[in-house]
Chains A and B, each alone.
Chain A
């Protein structure tokens, strides 16, 4: 049941967006419409899982044997950037439908702190391969869940009368705070 606990904890209790504050720029940027949020969420799930697998393998089988752990930041960002490029080219060639759906979100992912954050957290928490796989996938699902829920609320906010000074990002941040409060309610569940 261990993997189940890891998944629940990563999706709800330690939600990467609302409890660990990672990936807030796309959270504010692409949450204006539900359809873009869906696309971004799917792209993050795909890339974050793949990036974690690659960085984990490189860290444990290349960097640790050669003693270059201090290069972690540089190597991880390069791996993620290269991977995003590669995925983009691959999808463009092989699967036009998926490319059309995810294409414009892929370049944005390179600078998404959630992807890099998940890769770094895997190393920091000393996860094994299987734990890493579950953790990365579940964290990315948590990100998408929060993003999609948030986009749903934000779509409705267009028609509500909001004080002029709070319009835009200010009200979105306060909303995110209230959502984060709701997610705190899951905290008792893991234990």
Chain B
């Protein structure tokens, strides 16, 4: 009896730890390592395709798809891939997934894929995906890696959509294509152009830092 009791107790503690670990990984991408603000990677799409909220969301979703699947495949193969050629192997896996996404988007979301243009093939060189493969998927089991992919991917999608919302409302006076301001509102065309993208992202990063500081968190910013 005593043996069984101790066994059961042990088991529940173990599952509890496991669930806690999942929760931690799941929440990680939504604040602690939210790209591109906290984890300063993947800036190019964050600047380039966020001239409207819809484009930002579409890009975020495409990246999430690649990220989740690449984390899954790489973590399943992590014992098979030799250490020396791991980066090249990761790139092959990621590139294959990106080709799949490219074809799916051309088939089902043609307009969006035309607007995103060369930034869909460029998901291959998005540092977030390679970064997560190297930092997380190559040393954690498959279920945890998938959760990490989902979490970072959702965090990235939220960031891109947020930047898109700010730039679209100020730069074009619309939100998801629907006009939201009074008639005669003159939008700042500057916001949907290149300088607006940089400045908008910089100011948002500053605001997030200010919030972290106000909450008393340690600033995990990439310091120069």
Contact = CB atoms under 8 A, between A and B. Distances in A.
Interface residues of A, number: 49
18 contacts: A20-B194, A21-B44, A21-B194, A24-B43, A70-B99, A70-B102, A73-B95, A73-B99, A78-B95, A111-B127, A113-B44, A117-B122, A120-B118, A168-B222, A174-B203, A174-B206, A180-B198, A184-B195
B124 A176 contact: no
A80 to B, nearest CB: 9
A120 B43 CA distance: 19
Interface string A159-185: 000011111111111111110110010
B209 A165 contact: yes
A116 B195 contact: no
B203 A169 contact: no
Contacts, number: 137
B224 A168 contact: yes
B76 interface: no
B201 interface: yes
A21 B48 contact: yes
Interface string A50-77: 0000000000000000000011111011
A101 interface: no
B10 interface: no
B202 A177 contact: yes
A124 interface: yes
Nearest to B121: A73
- Interface of A, helix, strand, loop or mixed by DSSP: helix
Given A25-B41, A111-B130, A169 B125 contact: no
B126 to A, nearest CB: 8
Interface in B175-224: 193-199, 201-203, 205-207, 209-210, 213, 221-224
Contacts of B125: 77, 110-113, 116
Nearest to B49: A21
A149 interface: no
A73 B124 contact: yes
B95 A169 contact: no
B166 to A, nearest CB: 14
8 closest A-B pairs (Cβ-Cβ)? A173-B202, A177-B198, A177-B199, A174-B202, A21-B48, A165-B209, A24-B43, A170-B205
Contacts of A20: 48, 194
B159 to A, nearest CB: 14
Nearest to B50: A21
Given A32-B224, A117-B118, A167-B223, A22 B195 contact: no
Interface string B80-122: 0000000110011001101100110000000000000110011
A23 B40 CA distance: 13
Contact of B197 (A28, A166, A177): A177
Nearest to B41: A25
A176 B64 CA distance: 27
Contacts of A112: 125
B47 interface: yes
Contacts of B195: 177-178, 180-181, 184
B127 A25 contact: yes
Interface string B7-30: 000000000000000000000000
Nearest to A85: B88
Most B Cβ at <10 Å: residue of A24, A77, A116, A168: A24
Contacts of A110: 87, 91, 125
Given A167-B224, A168-B221, A176-B198, A78 B117 contact: no
Interface in A70-93: 70-74, 76-78, 81
